Amino acid sequence: MKAKATIRLEFSTEQQAETILKSLKPETEHPTTTRSHTALQKEGKNLTLKVEAKDTVALRATLNAYLRWINSILNVFRVVETQ
């Protein structure tokens, strides 16, 4: 069974989207597992995350990992902005 998900995220600035794309690009090029494949695409301030996985467990794990990484990057942005 194949499982797929597409998530589109809008960021405050185009620079934020670009930074997140560049930060996560190595993960999409060299995944740690063969159970899922991820693609990222930037359009202006939007970032589209597409995940294909062999099963729903792998899909959920991959989505959780990428969303946590994105959240961590956004937290760094917030800290930097307050400095």
Confidence grade of residue 23 (pLDDT, cut at 50, 70, 90): very high
The answer, yes or no, to whether residue 44 has pLDDT greater than 80, is: yes
Distances in whole angstroms, Cα of residue 56 to Cα of each of 13, 35, 59, 67 = 32, 10, 5, 16
The answer, yes or no, to whether residue 1 has pLDDT greater than 70, is: no
Alpha carbon distance 58, 15 (integer Å): 30
- pLDDT per position as a tens digit, 50-67: 999 999 999 999 999 999
Give, for 67, the enclosing helix (H) or strand (E): helix 56-82
Joined together, the tokens standing for residue 37 give 């494949």
CATH code: domain 3-82 is 3.30.310.50
Three-state SS string over 9-36 comes to EECCCHHHHHHHHHHHHHHHHCCCCCCE
Whether pTM > 0.85 for this model: the answer is: yes
Say whether 75 sits in a helix, a strand or coil.
helix
Average pLDDT over the chain, rounded to an integer: 94
For the chain, the structural domain boundaries read: 3-82
